[in-house]
Amino acid sequence: MPRQQPDRNRINRHKERGHYDTETIHAILDQAKICHVGFNMDGQPFVIPMAFARQGNSLLLHGAPNSRLLGQLASGFPVCVTITHLDGLVLARSTFHHSMNFRSVVAFGTARPVNDLEEKHAALIALTEHLTPGRTTLARAATDQEVMATAVVRFEIEEASAKVRRGPPLDSPKDRQLDVWAGVIPIHSVEGEPIPAPDLKPELCTQEPVKPA
Ligand SMILES: Cc1cc2nc3c(=O)[nH]c(=O)nc-3n(C[C@H](O)[C@H](O)[C@H](O)COP(=O)(O)OP(=O)(O)OC[C@H]3O[C@@H](n4cnc5c(N)ncnc54)[C@H](O)[C@@H]3O)c2cc1C
């Protein structure tokens, strides 16, 4: 389970915004569709955006078997995964106190390849379901060949931290007297109206893209 360790995952600035409990960390992970995977190779840091799904205390990642990233991850390198939700722009009376409302997670651990065919099938279903819940009951299931042509790694979270900022700007008492608008501009990530594929059979254009739960 994620736990606080003094060296790697202790938040120093705004400690009051830090959280180390599994519930908070998992909630932030589960509300995200992408993560950024950071690792060091021959002294060069890389940070790569990827889709993911959480399964218990691990994150499932997938890609092409010949991708350098998947190969590196599977070789047991130390990995740092970050997830960020931008919830609002915080506009203060002073430019200095402008800020952002956010929920973020930084997780440390190592990845191992998932080679067992059944486990890979389950991992890829979990990934699809995380991105589009209900989709796997409608779409054709992946064949063994397709699954074998996909690399899957399981990133086990060893330590993690969450940081959350909510609320209004924190202007100084003197600046609160200024005649300048202050507050929060909320930012939401929302799904738009589905756009049917150009070659979709016309009679399917009104079909629900995912099966309601
Ligand atoms: C959307 C967004 C925008 C931000 N913009 C800025 C900015 O412009 N300038 C700036 O200085 N800071 C910014 N931050 C905050 C930044 O992420 C760090 O929290 C901050 O730099 C202070 O880090 P630190 O010195 O406490 O920790 P560090 O010493 O840098 O890190 C120590 C440990 O704290 C944990 N940690 C640090 N930050 C986070 C986090 N955000 N979420 C979860 N765990 C964390 C990690 O486990 C890390 O290993 C932003 C955060 C978000 C989410």
Give the dihedral of Cα atoms 144, 146, 149, 153; nearest 10 deg: -80
pLDDT over threshold 80, residue 181: yes
Q: Is pLDDT larger for residue 114 or for residue 73?
A: 114
* Average per-residue pLDDT for the chain: 93
**Letter for the amino acid at 212?**
P
Average pLDDT over residues 136-164: 96
**Residue 89 beta carbon below 6 angstroms from any ligand 1 atom:** no
Given pLDDT bands bounded at 50, 70 and 90, which one contains residue 115?
very high
What's the rounded Cα separation, in Å, for the pair 123 and 121? Answer: 6
pLDDT over threshold 90, residue 133: yes
pLDDT over threshold 90, residue 36: yes
Average pLDDT over residues 143-151: 96
Domains of the chain and any CATH numbers: 15-88+100-169 (2.30.110.10)
Query: Looking at residue 176, what DSSP letter applies?
Result: G
**Residue 48 beta carbon below 6 angstroms from any ligand 1 atom:** no
**Residue 103 beta carbon below 6 angstroms from any ligand 1 atom:** no
Average pLDDT over residues 180-203: 96
pLDDT over threshold 50, residue 4: no
**Residue 86 beta carbon below 6 angstroms from any ligand 1 atom:** yes
Radius of gyration in angstroms for the set of CA atoms belonging to the chain, rounded to a whole number = 21
Whole-prediction pTM: 0.93
Distance 11 CA to ligand 1 centre (A): 7
What's the rounded Cα separation, in Å, for the pair 23 and 19? Answer: 10
- pLDDT given at position 213: 65
Within 8 A by CB and 6+ apart from 190, the residues are: none
pLDDT digits (tens, 9 = 90+) for 54-109: 999 999 999 998 888 888 887 888 999 999 999 999 999 999 999 999 999 999 99
**Letter for the amino acid at 49?**
P
Distance 163 CA to ligand 1 centre (A): 8
- pLDDT given at position 114: 95
- C-alpha closest to that of 109 among 145, 151, 65, 73: 73
Distance 175 CA to ligand 1 centre (A): 26
Which is the closest atom of ligand 1 to the Cα of 108?
Answer: 47
- pLDDT given at position 71: 81
Average pLDDT over residues 131-143: 95
Average pLDDT over residues 18-35: 97
pLDDT digits (tens, 9 = 90+) for 168-178: 999 999 999 99
- pLDDT given at position 6: 53
How many CB atoms are closer than 10 A to CB 88?
Answer: 19
- pLDDT given at position 50: 96
**Residue 100 beta carbon below 6 angstroms from any ligand 1 atom:** yes
